[in-house]
Every structure is written in structure tokens, then in C-alpha cells.
């Protein structure tokens, strides 16, 4: 009896196992259909189902019949839905990968290391302060470069004209747009004036004034013929026969000390002068105010100069001339570029020279006065070139 019961229990267990295995064979095809035939899970499925397809045969099967076995319509529709979802997911993954590839981050930008020493060493060398001094027989001069790369100020001196120690020519020149015009004026203006004087028969004032105008005009024409675009302002003094003949074009100026009182001998040719603006406008030009400064055609701040080829129709080289006889109260001249006069008043400059020279009128101290005027200008914020010349006048008095 006991053996029969044991047999029945064993048979029941085997039947249960068989039914479980049969149900598993129907469920596995749907669960494992998403995996590749070459995967280990697919190999297990083949073993359980008794299939032995080779890889080449599996790859040749249609997508919906990867697994073999009896399947009802419900299983087929469920399997088709799973395949559609899998295909859709795969398509989305591929498109997402493609877009990710298009948005790939660019390569790292390599910026060279900044090295100020190499980049600015040459520029700093050009921009170093440049200052020099000249001590002459009856004059002294000091020049200091401003913020520009090159010094555009210059000066010219001619002594003992026609062999006469009481005749001389002095000039202070301030270039713009380069040094070309300034260098040319220094070399030729005095010579052209002296050459024009040689052709004058009389010694009348009008004849000397005519020679000065001819010298300026010839210098201007000869420089313009070279086709160079720079220009230059100039203030000059011709000392002849006990008289001062002061001429200027532009904004360099000459101031006379008469018993310690400053007497201006020139006027600056700037557009703040109404007569200069009207002259330019009548000649067809225009003036424009930029940052508080009136400029010819919106560019040049002076209305008269030598050179300036592109503005020659309006910027003339005709000088204004002032004649003054030398008297015992005439002590010295201060001739300077606008770098000084824009920061130092006429009387301040005269007072500084008087203070350094003292009551004895010591010529040796005049150089110290020139240096002090330079420093005064830069201390007050000047950034332009500055040239200061002090001319002692006692030697040029005529003996009675």
C-alpha cells in the first residue's frame, strides 16, 4: 500500500514538472524575442526548445520568425507589438546618437601665453623720455618729448648774418603728422628769408617784411612739391639793425620781457579767432568743433602752417609779422611751442626766467630757467612736445 502511495506522489510531481515545462516553452519565445540570436540567452532558448540553427540560418530568418515553435494569434500580435516598440526605440536611439554627434563640443581653444615684456619692449623704448639742451652764445634751449613716439619739435638758429654779429635769426618749429615738415622748415626757412633779403636794395620796413613773406612762401611751395602730407607751425625772429621782426604761422609763440613785464609779440592761428574761421569759410572750407577744439575740415587745430598738402586750400602759410625796435628795457625773448603756452601763462614764464637769472641778468642761469619751464608744463598735465628758447637781447643793441 505504501509503495502505491509513493508511486502516485512521484507521478503527480512529474506531471506538475511536465506542465510547468510546457508552459515555460510557450512563454520563453515572447520574453526572449528582443535579444540577439547570438546572445547566451538565445543559446539557452535553443537548448530548451530543441532547435539547433546555425548563425547563418538565424540571420536569414525573417524578423518576426526568429524563434520557432507553435504560437497562437494572441502571441503573434503581442510579439508584433513588442517588435514595433523595440524598432521604434532603436530608431529613436539612432537618431538621438546622430544628433549628439552633430552637437559634439568643439576642440579646446589654445591661447598662447601673454608676454608683455616681448610685446611692448620696443614700444616702451620708443616712448622713453627724450630731452636735450643747447647753450649758445646769446641763447639757450631745452626740448622735451611728450607722449608721441617721435619728437616733432625742432629749432633753427643763424648767427652773424652777412658777417654782422648783431644780425641773427631764431626759430622754434612744431611739426604735426610727422617730422618731415619740421625738419624741412628748420633747414630752409632762415636761408630763404636771408636770400630774399640779399635782393632788397633798401632797408625800409616794408622791404624786410616782404622778404620774410617770400621766405615763408618759398619754403612752403618747395616742401609741398615733395608730395609729403605733414605740416609745421613756426615762430621766428629776425634781429636786424637794432630791430626785431617777429613772424609766426600756427600756434608757436614769442613773448618779450620788458623790465620784467610780459609782452606777447605773436597771436596763435587757431580757429578760436573769429577772423580765421571767417577766412576759411569764405574760401569754401568748414570748421568743426571736436571735443571742445575747433578744427579745419574737422581735422587740423591750426589755421596757418607750412605744409599740410591735403588742406592747403584753407591752411595758408602767410605769416603775421610784428616789428619792434630794441630799447634798453628789452631784456629777453621766450620762444616756445604750444606745449608750454597751453599750460603756462606769459607772465608766469617771464617771472620764472627772471627768478633764475636774478637782477644781474646772469646768462648761465637762463638754461636752468628753460628746464624749469619744461617741468612746469609737464607737471600741469601737458603731454605734447615742448621746446623753450630764451634769447638774450643785450648783445643786439646798436651802439650810439
3-state secondary structure of 247: strand
Express each pLDDT in 24-48 by its tens digit.
666 655 555 544 444 444 444 444 4
Question: pLDDT of 68-109, one tens digit each?
Answer: 443 444 444 444 544 444 444 444 444 444 444 444 444 443
In angstroms, the CA 356 to CA 368 distance is: 7
Predicted pLDDT of residue 205:
65
- Candidates 258, 392, 235, 219; CA nearest to 319 is 235
Q: Which residue has the higher pLDDT, 60 or 354?
A: 354
Q: What is the mean pLDDT of the chain?
A: 79
Place of cell 506542465: 19
Residue ranges of domains in the chain: 1-69, 124-269+304-396
The DSSP output letter for 302 is B
CB contact at 8 A, 174 and 233: yes
For residue 224, count other CB atoms closer than 10 A to its CB: 18
**What is the torsional sign of CA 32, 37, 43, 49?**
positive
pLDDT at 203 over 70: no
Asked if residue 312 has pLDDT above 50, the reply is yes
CA distances from 167 to 4, 118, 385 (A): 158, 53, 29
pLDDT at 53 over 90: no
Average pLDDT estimate for 243-251: 97
Percent of the chain having pLDDT more than 90? 58
Residues 6 or more apart whose CB falls under 8 angstroms from that of 293 comprise 301
Phi-psi region of 295 (alpha: psi -120 to 50; beta: other; left: phi over 0): beta
User: Would you state the pLDDT for residue 4?
Assistant: 63
Using the predicted structure, report yes or no on whether residue 173 has a pLDDT greater than 50: yes
pTM comes to 0.68
According to the model, what pLDDT value does residue 365 have?
86
Asked if 37 and 89 touch (Cβ cutoff 8 Å), the reply is: no
User: Architecture of domain 124-269+304-396 in CATH?
Assistant: 4-Layer Sandwich (3.60)
pLDDT at 238: 98
What gap in Å lies between CA 177 and CA 317, rounded to an integer? 16
> Is 50 exceeded by the pLDDT of residue 249?
yes
Amino acid at each position: 500500500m505504501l509503495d502505491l502511495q509513493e508511486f502516485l506522489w512521484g507521478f503527480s510531481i512529474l506531471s506538475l514538472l511536465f506542465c510547468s515545462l510546457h508552459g515555460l516553452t510557450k512563454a520563453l519565445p515572447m520574453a526572449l524575442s528582443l535579444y540577439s540570436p547570438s546572445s547566451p540567452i538565445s543559446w539557452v532558448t535553443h537548448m530548451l526548445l530543441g532547435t539547433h540553427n546555425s548563425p547563418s540560418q538565424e540571420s536569414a530568418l525573417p524578423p518576426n520568425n526568429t524563434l520557432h515553435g507553435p504560437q497562437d494569434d494572441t502571441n503573434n500580435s503581442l510579439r508584433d507589438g513588442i517588435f514595433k516598440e523595440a524598432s521604434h526605440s532603436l530608431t529613436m536611439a539612432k537618431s538621438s546618437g546622430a544628433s549628439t554627434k552633430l552637437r559634439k563640443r568643439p576642440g579646446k581653444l589654445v591661447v598662447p601665453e601673454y608676454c608683455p615684456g616681448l610685446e611692448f619692449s620696443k614700444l616702451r623704448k620708443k616712448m622713453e623720455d627724450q630731452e636735450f639742451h643747447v647753450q649758445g652764445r646769446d641763447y639757450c634751449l631745452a626740448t622735451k618729448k611728450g607722449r608721441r613716439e617721435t619728437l616733432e619739435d625742432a629749432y633753427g638758429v643763424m648767427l652773424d648774418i652777412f658777417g654782422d654779429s648783431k644780425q641773427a635769426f631764431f626759430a622754434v618749429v612744431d611739426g604735426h603728422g610727422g617730422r618731415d615738415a619740421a625738419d624741412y622748415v628748420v633747414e630752409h626757412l632762415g636761408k630763404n628769408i636771408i636770400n630774399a633779403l640779399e635782393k632788397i636794395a633798401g632797408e625800409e620796413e616794408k622791404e624786410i617784411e616782404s622778404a620774410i613773406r617770400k621766405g615763408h612762401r618759398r619754403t612752403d611751395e618747395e616742401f609741398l612739391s615733395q608730395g609729403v602730407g605733414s605740416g609745421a607751425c613756426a615762430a621766428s625772429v629776425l634781429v636786424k639793425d637794432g630791430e626785431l621782426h617777429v613772424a609766426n604761422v600756427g600756434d608757436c609763440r614769442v613773448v618779450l620781457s620788458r623790465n620784467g613785464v610780459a609782452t606777447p609779440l605773436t597771436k596763435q592761428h587757431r580757429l578760436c579767432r573769429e577772423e580765421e574761421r571767417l577766412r576759411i569759410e569764405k574760401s569754401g572750407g568748414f570748421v568743426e568743433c571736436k571735443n571742445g577744439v575747433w578744427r579745419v575740415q574737422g581735422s587740423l587745430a591750426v589755421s596757418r602752417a607750412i605744409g599740410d598738402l591735403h588742406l592747403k586750400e584753407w591752411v595758408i602759410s602767410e605769416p603775421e609779422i610784428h616789428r619792434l625796435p630794441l630799447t634798453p628795457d628789452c631784456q629777453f625773448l621766450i620762444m616756445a611751442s604750444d606745449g608750454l603756452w597751453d599750460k603756462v601763462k606769459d607772465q608766469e614764464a617771464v617771472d620764472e626766467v627772471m627768478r633764475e637769472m636774478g637782477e644781474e641778468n646772469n646768462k648761465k642761469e637762463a638754461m636752468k630757467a628753460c628746464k624749469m619751464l619744461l617741468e612746469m608744463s609737464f607737471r600741469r598735465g601737458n603731454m605734447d612736445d615742448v621746446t623753450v628758447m630764451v634769447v638774450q637781447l643785450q648783445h643786439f643793441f646798436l651802439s650810439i
